């Protein structure tokens, strides 16, 4: 692995942990769970980073990373006697697709100020769809343990 990739990986892990910790503080997570939220944010980023390096599409990588964070959050919740959302919601926040949301907003503002062009419209639609699918992947990943473990009726 190149040094720049390793540096980006380590920087991303640190910043994801800080972001998850910050949102955990905003959500009034108990002190004993703050470290777990930071570790969950770092885990989600690390898994998605490696999946993207393995040429997995962003939407699928995000779904797998969010599912992993959610399953680990359920494990921590059972171990510590808390609700799983205490650990998972703040840890999922670093996976939110800020880049594609910004690209969609930028294309929309450029169309609004400079007029319509097919290229800007294509950029807007592409960025908006990517943002939508990544956000849906996060939602499904967060709900995955509930869909698999907490069912009242069997799947078949």
Q: What is the DSSP string of 105-127?
A: HHHHHHHHHH---HHHHHHHHHH
Angle between helices 85-92 and 58-80 (to 10 degrees): 150
**Is the separation of the CB atoms in 110 and 62 below 8 Å?**
no
> pLDDT digit string (tens) for 110-136?
999 989 999 999 999 999 999 999 999
Whole-model pTM? Answer: 0.89
> pLDDT digit string (tens) for 13-38?
999 999 999 999 999 999 999 999 99
Half-sphere exposure of 99 (CA within 13 A, CB side): 5
**Is the separation of the CB atoms in 65 and 141 below 8 Å?**
yes
């Amino acid at each position: 692995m190149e040094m720049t990739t390793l540096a980006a990986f380590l920087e991303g892990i640190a910043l994801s942990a800080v972001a998850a910790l910050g949102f955990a503080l905003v959500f009034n997570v108990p002190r004993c769970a703050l470290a777990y939220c930071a570790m969950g944010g770092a885990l989600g980023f690390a898994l998605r980073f490696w999946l993207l390096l393995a040429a997995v599409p962003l939407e699928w990588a995000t779904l797998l990373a969010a599912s992993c964070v959610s399953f680990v959050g359920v494990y921590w919740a059972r171990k510590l006697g808390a609700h799983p959302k205490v650990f998972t919601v703040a840890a999922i926040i670093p996976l939110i697709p800020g880049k594609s949301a910004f690209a969609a907003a930028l294309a929309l503002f450029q169309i609004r100020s400079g007029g319509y062009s097919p290229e800007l419209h294509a950029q807007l639609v592409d960025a908006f769809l990517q943002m939508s699918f990544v956000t849906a992947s996060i939602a499904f990943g967060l709900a995955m343990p509930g869909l698999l473990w907490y069912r009242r009726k069997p799947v078949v």
